[in-house]
A = this chain, B = another copy of it.
Amino acid sequence: MKRLFLIVAMLCVGVVSLSAQQNLWQGEGLKSPEVNADGSVTFRFFAPSAESVKVTGDFLPEVKLRWEHGEAMVAGEAELERGENGVWEFRSEPLKSELYFYSFIVDGMRDVRDPSNIYMMRDVGSQMNYFIVPGERGNLYSARNVKHGTLSRVWCPAGGVERRMVVYTPAGYESSSERYPVLYLLHGMGGDEEAWVATGRVTEIMDNLIAEGKAEPMIVVMTNGCTKHRSAPGFSGEGMWRPYMSGSMDGSFEKMFPSIVEWVDKTYRTVSRKSSRAIAGLSMGGFHSMQISKENPQMFDYVGLFSAAVFRGDSSVSAVYDDFERKLKKQFAAKPKLYWIAIGKTDFLYEENVRFRELLYENEYPYIYVESEGGHIWRNWRVYLSQFVPLLFK
C-alpha cells in the first residue's frame, strides 16, 4: 500500500525541491488565507524560530508613510500571533467583498510570500499573493460558471517590430461569423500587456458582465505602451529584465497606435468604425488614451480616463503634443459618444484632473465624471472598468 501511495504521489509532477515533496506528503498543509463565513480572513504562516511575523496588504487600513522623498499612504500592517507547532496566525476584521493583495513581514524581511497560497500575480516588479472575499465585487472578479471568452497572446507588427498584445475575444467568437466592437485597454507606467489581465481581472470582469447581459460582447485589446520593450518581461528576446518605471510619454506609442488598430481590424472580425471603437487606460494609459483619441478624432467614440495622467505632454519631445487645445477641439467637434473620467479623492493626480475638467467645462465639451474614494490603486481601476464597459456600444 505504501508502495502504491509512493507511486501515485510521485506521479505528481515537478517535485524538484524537498519542500515541494513534503507538501505532497502533508496533504494540503496549512490553509492560508482562509476566508471565513463572516468575511474575515485568517492568515497562517509557518515560522518556528521567528520572533515576529506580520501581514501587510490592501485589506488593512492605510497608514501615512513619510520618508526622504515625500509621503504616501501605504498599506497597514498587522501582527500574527505565535501558536502551536510554529504556526503563526492572524484573523482580520470582516472585509468588504473585494480582491486583496498581501505579503508577510518576518523578522524585518519584507515581501515574504505565502507558501500556502498558489494564487499570485505580478504587478510591475512585485509578485504578490492575493485572495478574494466573495460578494458583489469579489464575484465579478472571480471565474464563474458562465460562458468564457478566449484570451490570446499575439504578436502585432507596429513601429517596425513585432510587439506582444493580449486579446480577449468574447464567448462564441470562434463558433460564429459575427463582427464585434473593440475596446483598447491601456496599462500604466511600469505595466505592460499583462497588467490588465493579472491585476485588472479583465477576463473575469468581461466574462461576467457579458454573461449577465450588462455589457455588449466585445473584443478587448491590451497593448504594451512602453515602446522600448516588445513585450512584458521574459516574452521577447530582451532577456530576463526586471521591470521598473518603464513607460513611454514621448509620442512614440501614440504614433504607432493607428497601425495597431489597422492590424486588429485585419486580423479579427471587428466592426471597423468609430462607433464600435473604445479606448481607455489607467494612469499613463489614461494619458495615452487622451492623446491617441485626440490625435485620431475619427477613430474612437468612447474614451475612458481612469486616474489618468492628464498632462498635455512635452511638445519639445514630440509633435504629438503640439496644439493640445486645437486638437481637443477637433476631437469634440467629431462628437464622441462618451468621454468618461474617473479618479479617487486621494489620488495624487486629483488636482491635475480638476484642471483638465475645467478646460473641458469651459469649452463645453461633454464628459461624464465619476469620483471615488481612495487613490491611485488597482481596486479603483477594476471598479472603473466595471463601470465603463457597460456604457459601451449601446
Q: How far is the CB of A190 from chain B (nearest CB, A)?
A: 4
B283, A17: Cβ atoms closer than 8 Å: no
Q: Which residue of B lies closest to A33 (CB)?
A: B240
Interface residues of A in 3-57 (CB under 8 A from B): 3, 5-25, 27-28, 46-51, 56-57
Within 8 Å CB of A107, what residues of B? 47, 49-50, 107
Copies in the assembly, this chain: 2
In the bound assembly, the distance between CA atoms of A27 and B16 in angstroms comes to: 32
Check if A145 is an interface residue, CB within 8 A of chain B: yes
Within 8 Å CB of A150, what residues of B? 152-155
Within 8 Å CB of A24, what residues of B? 125, 244-245
A5, B152: Cβ atoms closer than 8 Å: no
Contact of A12 among B108, B112, B189 (CB under 8 A): B189
Check if A81 is an interface residue, CB within 8 A of chain B: no
A245, B12: Cβ atoms closer than 8 Å: yes
Contact of A13 among B11, B49, B101, B123 (CB under 8 A): B123
A127, B146: Cβ atoms closer than 8 Å: no
Q: How far is the CB of A205 from chain B (nearest CB, A)?
A: 14
A126, B74: Cβ atoms closer than 8 Å: no
B108, A75: Cβ atoms closer than 8 Å: no
Q: Which residue of B lies closest to A235 (CB)?
A: B143
Contact of A153 among B151, B187, B189, B267 (CB under 8 A): B151
Check if A72 is an interface residue, CB within 8 A of chain B: yes
Within 8 Å CB of A111, what residues of B? 17, 19-20, 23, 115
Contacts A16-B58, A103-B17, A240-B119 given; indicate if A245 touches B8 (C-beta within 8 A).
yes
User: Which 8 pairs of residues, A with B, have the shortest CB-CB distance?
Assistant: A145-B237, A111-B115, A14-B123, A12-B190, A19-B110, A13-B188, A11-B189, A152-B152
A-B contact pairs, 6 of them (CB 8 A): A18-B56, A24-B125, A47-B108, A119-B240, A148-B162, A152-B152
